[in-house]
């Protein structure tokens, strides 16, 4: 039963991920992404990561997805001219080349998995009460040995926000511009 659920969830997430790339309509792509996130959340749950599964649904399926939808709505989605232009972007040879690279990478990976002796995961039988990711343990790891990665991620988000604003803003309103320019001259 648990095995069957795993295969269903895996198939859903892979097929939906394919749909994200293939579908021409951005809104459809976003919906496919939601399906993929949900499938992955189910796999987390089956593997014993209850907290991560919930977070995956809440943060990715909820918050991130709404952001994606907003971005898609703000762009000129559904514009037939833009759609036609985008569909012509990829040539057949490029597509074939990409598929060949991806296919050979997949083949290498499959051979490697087949030839490596990995412990077979037993879904649903060995977890401690409360799953493999109790909040206390996560918090201790996050603020203990991994505090550097955790705090680094916050700096990363700050820098990303600054970078996105720099790229998105076309020009600065006059007073500040004048102030910065004179300051640069004095520097």
Partner 1 sequence: MSFESLQDLYLGAGPALAPLLWLTGGLLAVLIAEITPGLTRLRPAVVPAALLGAAWSAGQLIAEPSGLVLGGTFMGDSQTGAFTLIFLGATLLAWGQARHYYGQEEPFLGEHDALLITAPIGMILMAGAQDLIVFFIGLELLSIPLYCLAAFRRTRDDSVEAGLRYFILGAFGVTLFLMGAGLVYTTAGTLNIEGLGDALVALTTPLGSVGMALILASLLFKAGVAPFHLWVPDVYQGSPTPITTLMATGTKAAAFAFLLRLAPILPSEAGLPLGIIGVATLALGNLGALVQTDLKRLLAWSGIAHAGLLLLVISAAVSAAGTNQQAEILNAATSALLLYLLAYAFAAGGALGLVAWMEADGEDHTQLSRWQGLGSVRPGVAAGMTLFLLSLGGIPATGGFLGKWLAFSTAVRADMLPLAVLGALTSVIALGYYLRVIITMWMKPRPESWAIPSMNRPLAAFLAGFCAAMVLALGLIPGFVLGPLF
- Give contact residues for partner 1 (rule: CB under 8 A): 108-109, 111-113, 115-118, 140, 143-149, 152-153, 155-156, 158-160, 162-167, 169-172, 176-177, 179-181, 183-184, 186-187
Closer to partner 1 by Cβ: residue 80 or 175? 175
How far apart are alpha carbons 67 and 39 in whole angstroms? 20
- Minimum CB separation from partner 1 for residue 162, in Å? 5
Residues in contact with 21: Cβ distance below 8 Å, sequence separation at least 6, in sequence order: 29
- What tokens does 117 get? 């002796």
Closer to partner 1 by Cβ: residue 87 or 166? 166
Closer to partner 1 by Cβ: residue 4 or 176? 176
How far apart are alpha carbons 158 and 161 in whole angstroms? 5
Closer to partner 1 by Cβ: residue 27 or 123? 123
122 closest CA partner among 60, 175, 46, 8? 46
- Minimum CB separation from partner 1 for residue 62, in Å? 23
Q: Are 124 and 50 in contact (CB under 8 A)?
A: no
- Minimum CB separation from partner 1 for residue 167, in Å? 6
- Minimum CB separation from partner 1 for residue 160, in Å? 5
**94-97: long-range contacts (C-beta < 8 A, 24 or more apart)?**
none
Give rounded-to-5 percent helix, strand, coil for the chain: 75, 0, 25
- Minimum CB separation from partner 1 for residue 146, in Å? 6
Closer to partner 1 by Cβ: residue 75 or 159? 159
How far apart are alpha carbons 95 and 86 in whole angstroms? 14
């Amino acid at each position: 039963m648990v095995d069957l659920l795993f295969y269903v969830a895996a198939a859903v997430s892979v097929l939906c991920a394919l749909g994200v790339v293939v579908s021409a309509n951005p809104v459809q792509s976003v919906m496919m992404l939601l399906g993929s996130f949900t499938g992955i959340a189910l796999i987390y749950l089956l593997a014993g990561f209850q907290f991560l599964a919930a977070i995956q649904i809440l943060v990715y399926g909820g918050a991130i997805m709404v952001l994606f939808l907003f971005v898609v709505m703000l762009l000129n989605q559904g514009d037939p001219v833009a759609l036609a232009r985008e569909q012509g972007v990829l040539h057949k040879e490029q597509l074939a080349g990409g598929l060949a690279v991806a296919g050979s990478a997949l083949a290498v990976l499959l051979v490697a998995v087949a030839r490596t002796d990995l412990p077979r995961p037993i879904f649903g039988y060995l977890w401690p009460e409360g799953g493999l990711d109790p909040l206390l343990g996560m918090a201790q790891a996050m603020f203990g040995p991994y505090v550097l990665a955790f705090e680094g991620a916050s700096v990363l988000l700050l820098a990303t926000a600054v970078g996105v604003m720099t790229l998105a803003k076309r020009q600065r309103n006059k007073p500040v511009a004048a102030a910065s320019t004179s300051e640069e001259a004095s520097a």
